[in-house]
Amino acid sequence: MSKDKVYIFDTTLRDGEQVPGCKLNTEEKLDLALKLEGLGVDIIEAGFPISSPGDFESVSQIAKHIKKATVCGLSRAVQKDIETAAQALKHAARPRIHTGIGTSDYHIKSKFNSTREEILQRAVQCVKWARNFTGDVEFYAEDAGRTDNDYLAAVIEAVIKAGATVVNIPDTTGYCLPYQYGEKIAYLVNNVPNIDKAVISCHCHNDLGLATANSITGVIAGARQIECTINGLGERAGNTSLEEVVMIIRQHKHLGFHTDIKTEQLNPISRLVSDTMRMPVQPNKAIVGSNAFSHSSGIHQDGFLKNALTYEIINPEEVGADSSKIVLTARSGRSALAYRFQKLGFRFDRNDIDELYINFLAVADKKKEVEDADLADMAQQYRKKTVTA
């Protein structure tokens, strides 16, 4: 295992699919799984096999067809869940069972009416059950974000001893601040004696809009796997967005990490997931939103047209997006107007543009966006006026 590689664990088909309205059938899930493998994700969490016969079938089909990526099935710390996940994964080239239990006092007391000691025993037991079926067992400490660090460290040490090869530290409720999540990971690195025997994984939710920041901080503190979804889909406010963490790692090379994601596929797969799950992407979404490479204010447009790097840190081609757009609104300036006329084949000098700009603003104040057809009209009327004058 290379020290600086960050493993990308995609859970679009499990945590992402839990979103109301995003349910997929087996054919859709298999198609997306093949695309995710092509994108270069390391692990595909294919579903929760015990949850329904349909999901069992989806995980089985994905397990049969995916050859390069690890295929993972979720389970609770329940023997039947684990056996069912193992059954669904039996044809996988690289099967992983993801099992675990809530470790925060909220979960221990309210959900399980139990004690810390009993939950620790159940955690160990579920890892042992899973190890009967595969050597690749990931343990999740649900609500680790709000779990006491000393207790969390004891659970993690015990599950690694029981055979867990990956330990997932979910901020299930999206509660942590980045420095707190980073300190939690660092605490485990420094206080769990056998931590070098497992990969630490970040699974962050976005309830406070901090999922991406928390995952990156977790990696800086010692984690080497990020659990994420395309377009940040997932329970409630969603999960860490795959495209964001991948591009942060790529943009900030000085951090010394890399992933194996083929970034030019990010926009196409974002659109595919959005269409298949019938879940639109917000226009201002980083990397994959329709406005991610649009420039509309005059100051930005002027700078961008002189040198794209003044206002763009990513080349749209690098993430498979359409080329950058100069959008014309009432906030746009003369350089943008001249540029758009030129793209339509109209060449005007500075004086012409000064005059046309007055007409342009009159139209722009009435419309949200000035389109090519408006510009063609403006250009023709201006030509007529100047020929007859």
Binding site for Zn ion (CB under 5 A): 15
104, 134, 172, 206: residue in contact with ligand KIV (rule CB under 6 A) = 172
Q: Cβ of residue 199: shortest distance to ligand KIV, in angstroms? A: 15
- Report d(CA 366, CA 355) in Å as an integer: 18
Distance between CA 144 and CA 203 in Å, rounded? 10
CB nearer to Zn ion: pick between 78 and 330: 78
Helix intervals (H) in 203-277: 211-221, 242-251, 266-277
Q: Does 99 help bind ligand KIV (rule: CB under 6 A)?
A: no
**Comparison of 100 and 320: residue with beta carbon closer to ligand KIV:** 100
Annotate each residue in 196-235 with x if it binds ligand KIV (CB under 6 A) or - if it does not, as one string.
-------x-x------------------------------
- Alpha carbon 20 to its chain centroid, in Å, reads 18
3-state DSSP call for residue 200?
A: strand
Shortest distance in whole angstroms from residue 89 CB to ligand KIV: 17
Min CB(14)–ligand KIV separation in Å: 8
- If contact means CB under 5 to 8 A according to the sort of partner, which of ligand KIV, Zn ion, none does residue 142 touch? ligand KIV
Q: Which tokens in the block code for residue 26?
A: 């087996």
Contact 343, 335 (CB under 8 A): no
**Phi, psi torsion values for 117, nearest 5 degrees:** -65, -45
Nearest to 112 by CA among 128, 94, 100: 100
Shortest distance (Å) from residue 253 CB to ligand KIV: 30
Q: CA-CA distance, 284 to 289, in Å (whole number)?
A: 5
Indicate the residue among 170 and 178 with the shorter CB distance to Zn ion. 170
What residue type is 230 in one-letter code?
A: I
Least separation in angstroms between residue 267's CB and Zn ion is 25
Separation CA 149–CA 184 (nearest Å): 7
In terms of phi and psi (left: phi > 0; alpha: psi -120 to 50; beta: otherwise), the region of 232 is left
The binder of 285, among ligand KIV, Zn ion, none, by C-beta within 5 to 8 A per type, is none
Residue 263, helix vs strand vs coil: helix
Where do we find the tokens 């955690």? 123
Q: How near is the Cβ of 318 to ligand KIV at its closest, in Å?
A: 30
45 contact, one of ligand KIV, Zn ion, none, CB 5-8 Å limit per kind? none
Rounded to a whole number of angstroms, the minimum distance from the CB of residue 141 to Zn ion is 12
Find the shortest distance in angstroms from Cβ 169 to Zn ion.
12
Report if residue 15 touches ligand KIV, rule: CB under 6 A: yes
Instruction: Select 119 or 379, whichever has its Cβ closest to ligand KIV.
Output: 119
Joined together, the tokens standing for residue 342 give: 């030129």
SS3 call for 136 = coil
Q: Which of 10, 142, 244, 302 binds ligand KIV (CB under 6 A)?
A: 142
Which CA distances in Å does 280 have to 106, 274, 283? 34, 6, 9
Residue 47: CB minimum distance to ligand KIV, A: 12
Nearer to Zn ion, 95 or 102 (CB): 102
In this structure, the number of other CB atoms found within 10 A of the CB of residue 219 comes to 23
Which one of Zn ion, ligand KIV, none interacts with residue 96, CB within 5 to 8 A by kind? none
Q: Which of 7, 9, 139, 140 binds ligand KIV (CB under 6 A)?
A: 140
Helical H runs in 252-349? 266-277, 298-306, 334-343
140 binds, among ligand KIV, Zn ion, none (CB under 5 to 8 A by kind): ligand KIV
Residues in contact with ligand KIV, counted by CB under 6 A, come to a total of 8
Cβ proximity to Zn ion: between 83 and 143 the closer is 143
Is 129 a residue that touches ligand KIV (CB under 6 A)? no
The dihedral sign for the CA sequence 133, 147, 184, 48: positive
C-beta of residue 46 within 8 angstroms of C-beta of residue 92? no
Residue with tokens 């239990």: 101
List the interface residues with ligand KIV, window 151-170 (CB under 6 A): 168, 170
Q: Please identify, using beta-carbon distances, which residue of 10 and 15 lies nearer to Zn ion.
A: 15
Can you give the binding site for ligand KIV, defined by CB under 6 A? 15, 140, 142, 168, 170, 172, 203, 205
